[in-house]
Chains A and B, each alone.
Chain A
Amino acid sequence: MKQVLQVEDMSVTFELHQSEVHAVREMNFSLAQGETLAVVGESGSGKSQAFLAIMGLLAKNGRAEGRAMMGDINLIGMEPKQLDKHRGKDIAMIFQDPMTSLNPTLKIKTQLSEVLVKHRGFEQSQAVKSATEMLERVGIPEPAKRANAYPHELSGGMRQRVMIAMALLCQPKILIADEPTTALDVTVQAQMLDLFKTLTEDFGTALVLITHDLGVVAGVADRMMVMYGGRAVEKGTTDDLFYDPRHPYTLGLLHSTPHIAKRAERLDPIQGLPPSLEHLPKGCSFNPRCAFAFDRCLVERPPLAPTGNGREKACHYEGPMAYGKVA
């Protein structure tokens, strides 16, 4: 498989008034063509910031270090002008709220064709035609009519499709989707997930799906990366992580997710609250909420280390993790 993105030792830091906050630390992963990688974590785990950094979209007080190699180009620390040549063309991102990413005063077709004119040098009329075709491919009924609409005239699901169409116009190698279905109804969500599958299969796009919903992950992702407190704590294939989680946090997330087909009397959630990145606990940052933590976890941070079969985890605990023990 051809690797389209190789992230090495990336970190993201935010300057605050008196302090610095490390939103992401020591991030390493690679993404192959046509593959779907799910990045799972709760708010404040750094999952969104990591990919905003790759896209060069960090807030002003944010700073990224390390390498994010797309072929032989390093996206981190690239001049904005240089980055603009790749953004939208080779790597695209869609967000939870499509309304914030669409210009409310321009028609859909104007916004879509602009991308083609800018990145691929299309003639205006040709660009509008391709844009309309793309709308049809992402499953928008009556694409010619919708192309003439303004964003507010479309429903949430429709807008998200327009965003995807826009992201795909230049056939990027990588599509980053940040909570793309969180604001949508289940029925529309199912349609979108279906669309993502078609995308990776037909276009060969590599998809990064940033989400907190394990149900969504199970349906579409090939591999998973679980993040906690700004670091990856477990990586592996989706099946491995769902059926044989090795990190207590992954296990806890699984037990916190209600399963429609199994009605348990009560869920078995992780205790406590996600930590604030400003005050991460000493040692393993999960230790205050971990049912398996022992003295070593309080002082020494476990490194992310391979455990065979291409899996990696960052945990000192090696024993069995019985169901219900997470409580």
Chain B
Amino acid sequence: MAGITGKDALLTEYANRLETLDAPKGRSLTQDAVRRLVRNKAAVLSVFVVSFIILFAFIGPYLLPWTYDKIDWSNIRKGPDFDAGHFVGTDQNGRDMLARIMQGTQMSLIVAGVATLVSVIIGVIYGAVAGYFGGKVDAVMMRFVDIMYALPYILFVIILVVIFGRNPVLLFVGIGCLEWLTMARIVRGQTLSIKEREFVEAAKAGGAKPWTIIIRHIVPNLTGPVVIYATLTVPEIILTESFLSYLGLGVQEPQTSLGTLISFGSPVAETLPWMLIGPAVVLVSLLLCLTYIGDGLRDALDPKDR
């Protein structure tokens, strides 16, 4: 019966050798998911497009002769003009549209990133704690979420603007603080099912403290739904930002964002179409690609869903 307890001298020797040598790495679930994602052509293409847009927004401004707030008095309301360096034209104030689109995209990406990050951090911790402890803790915490849901968020944003002034980053931290509600609900639901899994019980039997169990055993297993929901939150926040900017609550001139650019471009779409087309193309491709990435991630992380 040597095979069972493996008392063979050979095996022991092998074990000793491995103590100094590294054992082969296994395939983690994340690696598996990445492999599946790479097979999804739409998602891969989207990743490239999004990366391009990010580079465009953050590196682009350094390569242009014009900055987003510089006024070219000789070229006001002009279409694309390569000689003057206005590749996609200028706006009513003579500012270079390409530079403004780059700055606007940058702003939209930053607010989306910040707000999503905030909503993920708060939502995951809140949801995991509520789900894990359950009972009264859960009831109180989730009723609070319900109440927050019931409040009109435009009102909140107005209050936030009043408190923080029109500082875009703080404003979108504020939006993130509201966006976490849905994330918390999703995370709580997942936690409820994960905490019934036997490996959580095993961790308890192994003497782990509740906090250790949440961090080591529950949160890592939330990756799938959290990543998927976060990729879908990014476009949502970009849209929210556009909406708020449209209402005049968003970023402040001369800074701009994709939403602001579109809101300025749409009334003059017939006479100055380049003011609308540029930002619209960037926004639409960004949203489409993020949705494709979200879908791709869902298929990759949760292959049973297909």
Contact = CB atoms under 8 A, between A and B. Distances in A.
Interface of A: 17, 271-272, 327
Contacts of B39: 17
Nearest to A271: B3
A115 to B, nearest CB: 30
B1 interface: yes
Nearest to A17: B39
Contacts, number: 4
Interface string B1-42: 101000000000000000000000000000000000001000
Contacts of A327: 1
4 contacts: A17-B39, A271-B3, A272-B3, A327-B1
A327 B39 CA distance: 45
Nearest to A268: B1
A170 B39 CA distance: 47
Nearest to B3: A271
B84 to A, nearest CB: 54
B105 to A, nearest CB: 37
Contacts of A17: 39
Contacts of B1: 327
A272 B3 CA distance: 8
A264 to B, nearest CB: 14
B209 to A, nearest CB: 36
Nearest to A327: B1
Nearest to B4: A271
A271 B2 CA distance: 10
Contacts of A271: 3
A272 B1 CA distance: 11
Contacts of B3: 271-272
Nearest to B1: A327
Contacts of A272: 3
Interface string B33-54: 0000001000000000000000
B3 to A, nearest CB: 5
A215 to B, nearest CB: 24
A218 B34 CA distance: 48
A282 to B, nearest CB: 21
B2 to A, nearest CB: 10
A17 B36 CA distance: 11
A26 B1 CA distance: 35
A272 B4 CA distance: 9
Interface string B142-185: 00000000000000000000000000000000000000000000
A58 to B, nearest CB: 17
A17 B32 CA distance: 14
A327 B3 CA distance: 10
A318 to B, nearest CB: 26
A19 to B, nearest CB: 15
A208 B1 CA distance: 36
A17 B3 CA distance: 35
A179 B293 CA distance: 41
Nearest to B36: A17
A7 to B, nearest CB: 32
B195 to A, nearest CB: 23
B145 to A, nearest CB: 30
A327 B1 CA distance: 7
A198 to B, nearest CB: 39
A272 B2 CA distance: 12
A213 B3 CA distance: 25
B177 to A, nearest CB: 40
Interface in B216-232: none
A116 B267 CA distance: 66
A191 to B, nearest CB: 30
A271 B39 CA distance: 38
A268 to B, nearest CB: 9
A150 B3 CA distance: 50
Q: Which 4 A-B pairs have the closest CB atoms?
A: A271-B3, A327-B1, A272-B3, A17-B39
A270 to B, nearest CB: 11
A91 B3 CA distance: 45
A327 B2 CA distance: 10
A116 B1 CA distance: 56
A52 B39 CA distance: 30
A272 B6 CA distance: 12
Nearest to A266: B1
A271 B1 CA distance: 9
